[in-house]
Copies of this chain bind each other. A is one copy, B any other.
Amino acid sequence: MIRAAIAGASGYSGAELVRWLHGHPEVELGALAAGRQAGRSASDVFPHLGGAVAADLVETDWDRLGDAADVVFLALPHGEALGAAGRLLEAGARVVDVGADFRLRSPSAYRRWYGGEHTATAVLGEAVYGLTEWHRAAVAGARLVANPGCYPTASALALKPIFEQFGDRVGGAVVIDAKSGVSGAGRNARDGYQYSELNENLKPYGSGVHRHQPEIEQELATLGETPRVFFSPHLVPMTRGILAACYVPMTEPPSHDELEAAYLDRYASEPFVRVLTGAALPQTKATLGSNYCDLAVRVDAERGLAVVFAALDNLVKGAAGQAVQNMNVMFNLEETTGLSAVPVFP
């Protein structure tokens, strides 16, 4: 059994990690650490856990966490994992960081987008970007995995095959118009995020200035040339789910069948990526509560445009589920272990 611990267990990603790890047949779920909420029972902070998870939340003591766990999941506000990761690694634990601190490879990019110094550049050097389907071998050997952001997971799964196969025909800035449910904004109550102001409302935010834009560009750049991506997120009145529509201007677009074949081929053996064909298009609800990412392509030859749609559950494939998937790879388990739940529908 793998002994797992969670730091940041009182947030939404933390709770989702509890859900998946609790049901994982090869995991023994240990400490649930949470700053302000330490001392309260898990079922007090999260009533849905009553009867299933008996533990109390504990103080975040890195040495103790690192000693007692084989793997520690970090679900913390950015900046807070910088110091923690190194200490956990030294204590012998492996780390999956669900937060943002080790996603950008470059300390200067981190400074620019997250507004502080990256104080753990040594550790950063060995972090592996955990987009499992594209970095499986590296994840397998990693001590520290930087779990991708929710939007970048959808965007990169959607865009990498077209960049890999037809990257030389991309003829301008890629636009990613992404829409997310509200849970992506985290659990902290904030002005403007009141129920009554988000319900029956739809709004863009952070267009072209969102932190996930450089993360997406960085991941696409691993395929060769430097892509230009304009990332344009929106907030949608639902709790879970991301839909990313990726618009790729192309000098000479492949045909629809050619493009679809490239996706079917690339993801043929991936258990968590479903390529929809024919008239079907992804919808977030078909992935809700599961680790699936659904994709579909469209081509408009006349307008020189290829489009890739991606849907996933931001708290699962976009956070906790992919983190567990990475853990499975790191510990040499069958990759789907504990992750085979069918989506909740309707």
Residues on A facing B (Cβ under 8 Å): 12, 15, 18-19, 22-23, 46-53, 171-173, 175, 177, 179, 181-183, 187, 189-191, 193-205, 207-208, 228-230, 232, 234, 236-241, 243, 245, 247, 249, 271, 274, 276, 280-290, 292, 294, 298, 300, 302-305, 307, 309, 311, 340-346
Does B195 lie within 8 Å of A199, measured CB to CB? yes
The reply to whether A205 and B281 form a contact with Cβ atoms under 8 Å apart is: yes
Q: Is the CB–CB distance between A232 and B201 below 8 Å? A: no
Enumerate chain B residues within 8 angstroms of A289, measured Cβ to Cβ.
289, 344
Specify the chain B residue showing the minimal Cβ separation from A273: B51
A197 to B198, CA, bound (A): 13
CB distance from A58 to the nearest CB of B (A): 20
Please, which residue of chain B has its CB at the minimum distance from the CB of A346?
B196
With contacts A247-B175, A305-B230 taken as known, whether A284 is within 8 angstroms of B202 at the C-beta atoms is yes
A340 to B47, CA, bound (A): 16
Question: In the bound complex, do residue A307 and residue B207 qualify as a contact, i.e. CB atoms below 8 Å apart?
Answer: yes
A341 & B342 in contact (Cβ 8 Å cutoff):
no
Q: Cβ of A236 and Cβ of B236 under 8 Å apart? A: yes
Expressed in whole angstroms, the Cα–Cα distance for A172 and B287 within the complex equals 34
Q: How far is the CB of A236 from chain B (nearest CB, A)?
A: 6
Q: Dominant SS at the A interface?
A: loop
Contact of A183 among B23, B309, B346 (CB under 8 A): B346
CB distance from A286 to the nearest CB of B (A): 4
Is there an interface contact between B341 and A23, defined as CB atoms closer than 8 Å?
yes
- CB-CB under 8 A from A183, the residues of chain B are 196, 346
Q: How far is the CB of A25 from chain B (nearest CB, A)?
A: 10
Identify the interface centre among A18, A203, A307: most chain B CB within 10 Å of its CB: A203
Q: Is the CB of A241 within 8 A of B200?
A: yes
Known contacts: A194-B187, A230-B303, A288-B48. The answer to whether A238 contacts B208 by CB under 8 A is no
CB-based contact B239/A195 at 8 Å: yes
> What are 24 pairs between A and B in contact, CB < 8 Å?
A19-B345, A22-B342, A47-B294, A49-B342, A52-B340, A52-B342, A172-B304, A173-B305, A177-B247, A181-B202, A197-B346, A199-B199, A199-B238, A199-B346, A202-B238, A202-B241, A202-B283, A203-B282, A203-B283, A208-B307, A229-B303, A230-B305, A247-B247, A288-B344
Given known contacts A232-B245, A271-B51, is B200 in contact with A189 (CB within 8 Å)? no
Specify which of B23, B51, B52, B179 is in contact with A234 (CB 8 Å cutoff).
B179
Contacts of A285 in B (CB 8 A): 48, 197, 200-203
Q: How far is the CA of A208 from the CA of B253 in the complex (A)?
A: 15
User: In the complex, what residue of chain B is closest to A206 when comparing beta carbons?
Assistant: B281
